[in-house]
Amino acid sequence: MLMLFSPPLLAEAEVTRIPLNNGTVTIEITPDIGGRVLSASLVDKPNFLHVGAAVESDPNPSVTPESNNIAYFGHETWVGPQSQWWVHQLLNPQRAAAKAVWPPDPFLILAKNTVQGKNAQQIILQSPNSPVSGVVMQKTFSLVEDKPNQIRLDVTAQNIRDSKIAWDIWFNTRVPHTTNVYVPVASMSDVRVEHFTDATYGPLEHNFSDGFFALENFSPSTHQGRKGKVFIQPAQGWMAAFHDQQLLIIQFALQPKSAIHPEQGQIELYQEFLAASPEEGLLELEVHAPYRSLKPRETMSATEVWTILPYNNVQTPAAQRAFLRELVTKSSVLAPL
């Protein structure tokens, strides 16, 4: 009797991972799934970033105007403001009519990027042209010469349409929700907190002292979790995050409030977690560049510089604030961009 056997199903190809390592810090970038950072840390330390299981389970997403977000996380780049994501396109009229604020542009967050340049110090990626946002993005990730603890992220967005468009460049870095984040602010009048509360999620806990706004991760909650967003006009061009005996400082060019779209903040923090599933919780460290109008083929650019330092001191807010106050006095570490 003739036996017919079906060949085994081939596993989906894994995402491409391109590492940069200078012996002090290491970073891993993929040109796939939107061209994003999957890992960043001191060498031989845990990944500072929060990355979703979908990186392994769904490495080849379809990219259409109907595509939804996939929880890859890591670090990616959007355009802002969020309220306009779908109103300047005709490919998905339902989202345009609803003025949808989710998902982000699939052509920027899901599509494969092309590698335009690569060496031991730098990787350059380019997104496809987006028919949703009307931009093409070039992203450069670089180890910083003579500053072994630093990584530089440069993004340029170009208007590909024959008419004017207006956006900002929006950096979004995901870390575990237990990360302790501090932002220098002049007063709480520069901070707007939105609590997304219901029967499950309680309000965000936060405090302001010594010139730093911080989310409070040490206080207990009577709810199953927390969810909310914070919009901040910072006093200086940086924020700091502590996790796994590492300190990540994200620096950027400080902008006047008038340069940032009024719906956004130059810094935004989004925290969401359930105590029953702590591994799925996340904190987003977001930075907006100036909101700009671009003529056809005109470009705009923005930069973040990441500094990753060891932190082996006591894991308390008081100790972390003291460590930051000491760093502020060292202009070589927190010099303005």
Kindly list the domain boundaries of the chain, sorted by start residue. 18-329
**Average of per-residue pLDDT across 291-311:** 98
CA-only gyration radius of the chain, Å: 20
Q: Is pLDDT of 8 > 60? A: no
Q: Which fold has domain 18-329?
A: Beta-galactosidase; Chain A, domain 5 (2.70.98)
Among the residue ranges 7-11, 259-263, 310-314, the one predicted with the least confidence is: 7-11
Scan for tokens 């969810």, then name that residue.
Answer: 227
SS3 13: coil
Using DSSP, how many helices (H) and how many strands (E) does the chain show? Answer: 5, 21
pLDDT value, residue 331: 66
Mean of pLDDT over the chain:
94
Q: What is the pLDDT of residue 223?
A: 86
DSSP code of residue 93: H
Answer whether residue 156 shows pLDDT above 80.
yes
**Euclidean distance between CA atoms 260 and 154, whole angstroms:** 19
| pLDDT > 80? residue 51 | yes
Among 135-149, 156-170, 192-206, 207-221, the least confident range? 207-221
Q: Of the given ranges (88-102, 189-203, 210-224, 250-264), which has the lowest mean pLDDT?
A: 210-224
Using DSSP's 3-state secondary structure scheme, residue 260 falls into coil
Phi, psi of 159 (to 5 degrees): -75, 120
Q: Which of 112-121, 220-229, 273-282 shows the lowest mean pLDDT across its residues? A: 220-229
Terminal-residue alpha carbon distance, the chain: 75
* pLDDT attached to residue 2: 44
pTM of the model: 0.95
Task: Provide the H-helix boundaries in the chain.
Answer: 54-57, 93-98, 106-109, 317-328, 331-334
79 pLDDT exceeds 90? yes
pLDDT at 10 over 50: no
